[in-house]
């Protein structure tokens, strides 16, 4: 293994602490990963040395901030292998990216009676914006189901697709089941019918290599805070020919080229979709997170996290009463589970007292909970800073908590 996990953990000082007199075991990176030290230092440097509003100033601070901000656009382009830097739009996060596509694509391309296909395993952020768009435009939502093992039933796409289908929205990796969906296969099938595809990559980009040229997604969204970066920053990738034809999502400064009361001319992409002053320090520090992942090497990260997942899954399945939701071979970084006789909220609270940070609840995925007919679950999720020793301690804590309810 090429990764030095001891050194990596030193890049995340927050992990070196105790909660309730127990060593912290952070297993909630699917909700939000911890921030790498380089990101925090970059934010501090920006505020101490050269903060200025970008694109608009003629002074040194503004020029330097603008250069660094636009440099991160180039970093993202290379990271996901986009064709052009203009295809990279900065947002508040994956959720805003999806809302932007739902609104602007809907305005440009969707009319009454048209259809949008969404998978059953989507996070609420990849469901509700499409419902809002459908209500506004008079469109129809169709659902692509998954089976009890957590496999998306892509074979049913043929019966769902019609001449009215305009777009398919699907997660690259499920936030609840951990399933790595065959997005390239879905996109290829959709494109044969001239259907566009929007991929929610929020749970994928810190675990898997992403290549827009190979995948051929029409839109792809993700958030910086899930990849060791800052909060309040996200990316929408969109193919240039589509973005050019879509109207702005918001109005204001920067997204215009000329404003008159008789009418306004919009700016070119990507600025057409970046109204107002953006999260300047967030975007600039996000570049450090991207560089950090690239320096570690995505292939090594993927292999290491897969080993953590397999190791933990095997140990958990040995616990009586254990049910794991999502058991596909192609899986990444997430284990969602319940234990018979113990309420998931009780499990989550008691694990916290043992120093384990896990997520309990409906995981912003009500349709998944309804599929399995459960009120809630517990989820643990991994990142490159987790260790096999932490998994052993988690298993010990889990067994102890379960014993308290027996």
Chain position carrying tokens 């384990």: 356
Task: Look at residues 262, 251, 183, 253 and name the one whose alpha carbon lies nearest to residue 218.
Answer: 183
CA distances from 324 to 320, 352, 374, 377 (A): 12, 20, 12, 10
Task: Look at residues 49, 58, 161 and name the one whose alpha carbon lies nearest to residue 115.
Answer: 161
Q: How many CA atoms lie within 13 A of 101 on its CB side?
A: 33
| Contact predicate 190/200, CB 8 Å | no
How big is the CA angle at 49 (ends 44 and 51), to the nearest 5 degrees? Answer: 85
Q: What is the C-alpha to C-alpha distance for residues 401 and 193, in angstroms, rounded to an integer?
A: 52
Annotated catalytic residue, options 364, 376, 395, 399: 364
Can 364 be counted among the known catalytic residues?
A: yes
How does strand 196-200 pair with strand 165-171? parallel
| Pair of tokens at residue 271 | 């600025």
Radius of gyration of the chain (CA): 22
How does strand 359-361 pair with strand 377-381? antiparallel
| Contact predicate 394/308, CB 8 Å | no
Q: What is the C-alpha to C-alpha distance for residues 382 and 28, in angstroms, rounded to an integer?
A: 7
How big is the CA angle at 112 (ends 188 and 219), to the nearest 5 degrees? Answer: 30
Dihedral, CA atoms, 358, 362, 368, 371, nearest 10 degrees?
120
Q: What is the C-alpha to C-alpha distance for residues 357 and 28, in angstroms, rounded to an integer?
A: 6
**DSSP-assigned beta bridge partners for residue 90:** 235
CA distances from 91 to 127, 271, 366 (A): 18, 11, 25
DSSP annotation of 179 reads B
Q: What is the C-alpha to C-alpha distance for residues 78 and 290, in angstroms, rounded to an integer?
A: 10
| Contact predicate 236/273, CB 8 Å | yes
Active site members: 364
């Amino acid at each position: 293994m090429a990764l030095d996990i001891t050194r990596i953990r030193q890049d995340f000082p927050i992990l070196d602490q105790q909660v309730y007199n127990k060593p912290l075991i952070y297993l909630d990176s699917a909700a939000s990963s911890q921030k790498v030290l380089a990101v925090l230092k970059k934010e501090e440097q920006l505020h101490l040395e050269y903060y200025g509003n970008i694109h608009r100033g003629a002074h040194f601070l503004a020029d330097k901030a603008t250069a660094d901000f636009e440099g991160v656009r180039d970093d993202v382009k290379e990271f996901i292998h986009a064709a052009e830097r203009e295809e990279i739009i900065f947002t508040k996060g994956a959720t805003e990216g999806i809302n932007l596509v739902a609104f602007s694509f809907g305005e440009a391309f969707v009319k009454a009676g048209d259809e949008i296909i969404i998978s059953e395993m989507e996070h609420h952020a990849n469901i509700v914006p499409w419902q809002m768009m459908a209500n506004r435009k008079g469109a129809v939502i169709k659902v692509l189901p998954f089976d009890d093992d957590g496999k998306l039933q892509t074979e049913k796409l043929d019966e769902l697709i019609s001449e009215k289908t305009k777009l398919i929205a699907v997660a690259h990796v499920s936030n609840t089941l951990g399933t790595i969906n065959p997005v390239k296969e879905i996109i290829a099938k959709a494109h044969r019918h001239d259907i566009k595809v929007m991929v929610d990559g929020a749970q994928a980009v810190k675990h898997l290599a992403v290549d827009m040229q190979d995948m051929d997604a029409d839109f792809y969204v993700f958030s910086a805070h899930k990849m060791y970066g800052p909060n309040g920053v996200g990316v929408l990738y969109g193919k240039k020919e589509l973005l050019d034809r879509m109207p702005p999502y918001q109005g204001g400064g920067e997204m215009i080229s000329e404003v008159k009361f008789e009418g306004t001319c919009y700016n070119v992409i990507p600025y057409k979709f970046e109204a107002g002053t953006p999260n300047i320090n967030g975007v600039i520090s996000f570049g450090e997170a991207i560089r950090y992942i690239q320096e570690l090497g995505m292939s090594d990260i993927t292999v290491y996290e897969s080993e953590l997942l397999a190791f933990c899954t095997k140990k958990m399945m040995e616990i009586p009463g254990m049910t794991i939701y999502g058991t596909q071979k192609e899986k990444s970084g997430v284990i969602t589970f319940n234990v018979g006789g113990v309420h998931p909220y009780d499990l989550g609270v008691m694990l916290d007292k043992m120093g384990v940070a896990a997520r309990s609840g409906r995981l912003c995925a009500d349709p998944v909970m309804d599929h399995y007919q459960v009120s809630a679950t517990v989820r643990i999720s991994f990142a490159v800073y987790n260790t096999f020793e932490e998994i052993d301690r988690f298993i010990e804590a889990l067994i102890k908590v379960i014993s308290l309810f027996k």
